[in-house]
Structure formats: C-alpha cells, structure tokens
C-alpha cells in the first residue's frame, strides 16, 4: 500500500509542469511559494541514472520544502526504467513519472519520449517495469501528448487503462506541432472517459481564465502550468484564487521586481558556483512588457552577482 500518495491531494491539482532547462531548484522553490501542489525536477535520463552521471544525480537533489516532489524519467529501455525507478524511490521522491511526450531530438534519437507512443506494447512494458521498480511504495504516473504520427492519445489511454497508475498528464498538442497553436482540449476530455485514474491537462493554462476553462471543459482532475509561469511564478496562486473566488489580483510593479530579486537570490544560495547560467534568461522573463524592457534585458543577460541584479532593478524602479 502507498503510504503517502501526492495524487490524493484535494482537486483540482494545480502544479508546475516539468520543464527541462527551467525547473531547477530555485525555479521550483519560487513557484512553491505561490502554492504549486506538486513539483518536478527537470527530467532525467535512465541512462544517466544507470551510469551514475554526476550531472543527473545533481539534477535529482531537492529540499524537503519542495515535497511532494516527483521525478520524471526518459529513455526507452524497460530494464533501465526498472532500475531507475528503484533508485528514485530510494532517494526519497514522492512519485515517479514517465515521459511519453517529449519531442526533442536528444530524447527522440534513441526512441524515448513521444516516439514511444508509436509502440504501445513497449509503453506498457516500460510502465510495468517502473511499477515493479517502485514496488508499490510510491505512485507511478505518465505524461504524454495528443498524438504521435498515427497514434492518438486515445489509443495510448486504451492500452494502459488496466495498469495501476496514478495519473496521466496530456499535453494537447501533437508531436508534429509540439508547441504552436491552440492545445486540443477534446483529447483530454475524451481521456477522462477512457481511464480509471486521474487525468491532468497541459497546454492551455497560461491565464487563470484559461486554466479554469480547461478544467471545466475537460473535467480533468488537475492542470499543469508550464510556459505560463515564465516571469509569473504567482500564476498558480492566481489560478487557485480564481477557481475559489472568481477573482485574483495582479502583483504590483514593485512586487514583480522584488520577486525577481528573490528568485535571483535563491539561485545564488542554491548554486553558489554558477548561479546565473540559467538565471539570466529567467530574469528577462520577469520584465516582459515593461517600458524599455529590451534595454534592461540586455543588461540582465550580463549579470554575474546579486548586486548587479539589484542595480538593474534600481534603474527600472526609477
């Protein structure tokens, strides 16, 4: 029996999606402050885990305040999923998630991510191996897309419906058009009729209104927020407020900038050696739409210290 199942939290679940190159510790912790129900580190390769890659193990570090936290795995070999799932459980994660949705060449090149949807038998084998690896001690979930070539997510759902998994998260865009155009919500709505476990919607949660619409329209049990959180770590709180009360507040100009500095400070505390490598692009997201944003962004992409961030923020505030 599962002792703590994060998927049993009150519905709807509203949480930060896994994002490679984005959801590092500092990013997760700033979003957690605004109420993300779940967190995911950047996804890790089952091969990186098998070979004990330092970079992979580093990406799997988290602080207790981030719980419940779920690790996401990518790759294509069931026996490595078995092994990786065991390790994830032993590290102390609250769940393990399998990536069946990533279209990126680095994942697709050995048949992992979304490409797996082209072989539903292998998808099942991977899930079964992962379930065996966690030995019923932490939940297993999956994340996928609307379609891969001729395989629709409805086929995927039918193939896995009898497995004891906790949640399927569906990004309503195809492999062929991975991030552009409107997300299809009908495939998520249909999934609710096909599987006995939870369904989470992804791809149409960029505003509180869109998130609520997605939940109402699809009947999904949760929604996961990805690009909508860029420069807006408070979006999850706004969505929850909007669902609960029908209204939400926007942060003031100063609150936006103060959150940006807080985020930068967290990054320096967490990664004292190279805090600004990933942070520079993130800082730029906060000032999107500000007057003279491009001028300040040009300065933010060169910062190396928290004092330099504060200096740019001082200029913006004047």
Ligand X SMILES: Cc1cc2nc3c(=O)[nH]c(=O)nc-3n(C[C@H](O)[C@H](O)[C@H](O)COP(=O)(O)O)c2cc1C
Residues lying near ligand X in the complex (CB under 6 A): 17-22, 42-43, 72, 99, 101-102, 143, 171, 202-203, 205, 225-228
Q: Is 169 a catalytic residue?
A: no
- Give least dist CB 181 to ligand X, A: 10
- Give least dist CB 161 to ligand X, A: 20
Residues 6+ apart with CB under 8 A from 19: 42, 226
Cis omega (within 30 of 0) for bond into 12: yes
Q: Which is closer to ligand X, CB of 199 or CB of 226?
A: 226
Q: Which is closer to ligand X, CB of 17 or CB of 257?
A: 17
- Give least dist CB 237 to ligand X, A: 16
> How many Å is the Cα radius of gyration of the chain?
19
- Give least dist CB 148 to ligand X, A: 14
**Residue of 102, 114, 123, 169 marked active site:** 102
By C-alpha distance, which of 225, 142, 149 is closest to 183? 225
Q: Which is closer to ligand X, CB of 151 or CB of 316?
A: 151
Q: Which is closer to ligand X, CB of 195 or CB of 316?
A: 195
By C-alpha distance, which of 64, 6, 12 is closest to 38? 6
Q: Which is closer to ligand X, CB of 106 or CB of 317?
A: 106
- Give least dist CB 28 to ligand X, A: 13
The catalytic residue positions are 102
């Amino acid at each position: 029996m599962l002792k703590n199942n994060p998927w049993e939290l009150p519905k709807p679940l509203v949480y930060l999606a896994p994002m490679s190159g984005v959801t590092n510790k500092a990013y997760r912790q700033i979003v957690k402050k605004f109420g993300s129900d779940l967190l995911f580190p950047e996804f890790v390769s089952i091969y990186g885990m098998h070979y004990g890659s330092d970079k992979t193990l580093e990406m799997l570090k988290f602080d207790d305040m981030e719980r419940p936290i779920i690790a996401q795995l990518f790759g294509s070999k069931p026996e490595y999923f078995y092994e990786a799932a065991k390790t994830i459980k032993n590290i102390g994660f609250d769940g393990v998630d399998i990536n069946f949705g990533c279209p990126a060449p680095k994942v697709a090149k050995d048949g992992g991510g979304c490409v797996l949807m082209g072989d539903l038998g292998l998808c099942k084998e991977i899930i079964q191996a992962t379930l065996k690896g966690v030995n019923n001690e932490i939940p297993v979930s999956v994340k996928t897309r609307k379609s891969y070539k001729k395989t629709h997510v409805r086929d995927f759902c039918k193939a896995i419906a009898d497995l004891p998994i906790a949640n399927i998260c569906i990004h309503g865009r195809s492999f062929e058009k991975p991030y552009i155009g409107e997300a299809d919500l009908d495939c998520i709505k249909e999934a609710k009729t096909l599987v006995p476990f939870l369904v989470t919607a992804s791809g149409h949660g960029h505003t509180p209104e869109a998130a609520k619409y997605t939940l109402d329209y699809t009947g999904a049990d949760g929604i996961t927020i990805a690009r909508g959180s860029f420069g807006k770590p408070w979006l999850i709180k706004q969505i929850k407020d909007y669902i609960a009360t029908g209204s939400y507040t926007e942060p003031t100009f100063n609150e936006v900038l103060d959150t940006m500095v807080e985020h930068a400070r967290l990054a320096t505390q967490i990664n004292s050696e190279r805090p600004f490598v990933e942070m520079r692009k993130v800082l730029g997201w906060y000032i999107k739409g500000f007057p003279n944003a491009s001028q300040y962004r040009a300065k933010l992409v060169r910062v190396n210290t928290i004092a330099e961030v504060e200096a740019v923020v001082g200029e913006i505030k004047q």
